[in-house]
Structure 1
Amino acid sequence: MEAVVKQFPERSGIEADDRPDRAEAEAAVRTLLRWMGEDPTREGLLETPARVVKAYGELFGGYAQDAADVLGRTFEDVSGYEDMVLVKDIDFHSHCEHHMVPIIGKAHVAYVPNGRVLGLSKIARLVDIYGRRLQTQESMTAQIADAMQRLLQPAGVAVMIEAEHLCMSMRGIRSRDATTITTAFNGQFKTDKELTRRFMKLSGQSS
């Protein structure tokens, strides 16, 4: 039975021609420094705008990457393997789209092959692509599951993300050690309770 997949927009950002250039981005950092009460002309801050823009280019590099490029190459020689493949404890760093403050966590991604398998590093790269964008944890979880289901077409996909949101621990309520858990299930993981239970147990969420 073919799984029904709800597709989520990529939210890949604005077109390259509409983006500010590097000089405009550095000027924006200087504006923020002045707004917070700093002097961007003092020695210690002279190179800060350039460093921030360079760092942001890395931290938000996911906008320049496409999930289809990562998941495009698969292997068909699976020797009849039809059970779950789980890659767990994938470290990632993202940023909250509401405050642009870090989200730090781990992702657990599983799928049931349907004649094709991925190189295991591809799953970690997929998590990295979506992590290096402004995100909500709920959206990131759904986007990873959707990309796996849409591009690999497995019999099922399960994604769990556990993360700490620094917008909660550094500001606002300042709740330390609070962890948010989100999940997304497609295909067999929606219909096979035992398979889902195994995923949860192997991911460390049940006994």
Structure 2
Amino acid sequence: MDEERIKKLVRELIIEIGEDPTREGLIKTPERIANAYKEIFGGYDSNSDLSVQFSEDSEVVVVRDIQFYSMCEHHMLPFFGKIQLAYSPNGRIFGISKLVRLVEKYSRRLQIQERMTKNIADELYSHGVKGVAVITEAEHLCMKMRGVKNNASVSSAAFRGIYERKEEKENIINIIKNPSKTFFTQNS
């Protein structure tokens, strides 16, 4: 990412929208935006490193409420929310931080929610697990502050492997929604 070029382009944008880039509150704005963009769009250069696994097994691993922030590729406005992620290991488990990094890898890009959900599921499934479920719930500022100006939230899901079967899909959704009740009910 060329920070100097971003600074110049932001300065030009400030002028084009009718503002004065030399005004006190805007002088450092190009620099602040360039720095913010390094972080916001860091997913292009990140590595989730799912090759780091541990010899353990479990029937299912669920990580709830992974927060994410992304930028809509259509309007370059934020969308943000939480991801519920579940997988059935095949003799090896991932470090939980690696799963959070996987979400960051795809959310820190110009993105659409549906593709992000699919990308996360595909990459996790490609590492030899039996099944993957990814459910994303998000609010989109492109919808809230412009256009239809509506407070609707958006949900998307992707299921791979064993979770593509109807019964398994229903079971994993129940586990994600209500873990203690479902785990206790199944094991009784």
TM-score, structure 1 as length reference? 0.82
Structure 1 unaligned residues grouped into runs of 5+: 1-18
Distance in 2 (alpha carbons) for counterparts of 1:64 and 1:92? 17
Q: Please, which of 146, 154, 166 is the counterpart of residue 171 of structure 1?
A: 146
Q: Please, which of 71, 77, 80 is the counterpart of residue 101 of structure 1?
A: 77
How far residue 188 of structure 1 moved from its aligned partner, in angstroms, is: 0.4
How far residue 72 of structure 1 moved from its aligned partner, in angstroms, is: 1.3
Distance in 2 (alpha carbons) for counterparts of 1:148 and 1:167? 29
Counterparts of residues 152-167 of structure 1 (less than 5 Å): 152-167=127-142
Cα deviation code 1:20-41 (max 9, x no counterpart):
x322110000111011110001
Task: Give the superposed CA RMSD.
Answer: 1.6
SS in 2 for 1:52: helix
> For residue 181 of structure 1, what is the aligned residue in structure 2?
155
How far residue 66 of structure 1 moved from its aligned partner, in angstroms, is: 2.5
Distance in 1 (alpha carbons) for counterparts of 2:63 and 2:160? 16
Question: What amino acid is the match of 2:22?
Answer: T
Distance in 1 (alpha carbons) for counterparts of 2:158 and 2:56? 28
Report the structure, 1 or 2, having the larger strand content: 2
Q: Does 1:195 align with 2:168?
A: yes
Cα deviation code 1:46-77 (max 9, x no counterpart):
1110011001111111111123xx21100123
Counterparts of residues 1-207 of structure 1 (less than 5 Å): 21-67=2-48, 70-78=49-57, 81=58, 83-150=59-126, 152-176=127-151, 178-191=152-165, 193-204=166-177
Cα deviation code 1:158-185 (max 9, x no counterpart):
1110001110001000002x11111111
Question: What amino acid is the match of 1:162?
Answer: E
SS in 1 for 2:177: coil
Distance in 1 (alpha carbons) for counterparts of 2:112 and 2:104? 14
Distance in 1 (alpha carbons) for counterparts of 2:161 and 2:93? 16
Distance in 1 (alpha carbons) for counterparts of 2:130 and 2:4? 48
Tell me the number of residue pairs that the alignment of Structure 1 and Structure 2 aligns.
Answer: 179
Runs of 4+ in structure 1 deviating by more than 4 angstroms, as ranges, are none
> For residue 185 of structure 2, what is the aligned residue in structure 1?
none
Question: What amino acid is the match of 2:32?
Answer: R
Distance in 2 (alpha carbons) for counterparts of 1:203 and 1:164? 20
How far residue 195 of structure 1 moved from its aligned partner, in angstroms, is: 2.6
Question: What amino acid is the match of 1:98?
Answer: H
> For residue 186 of structure 2, what is the aligned residue in structure 1?
none
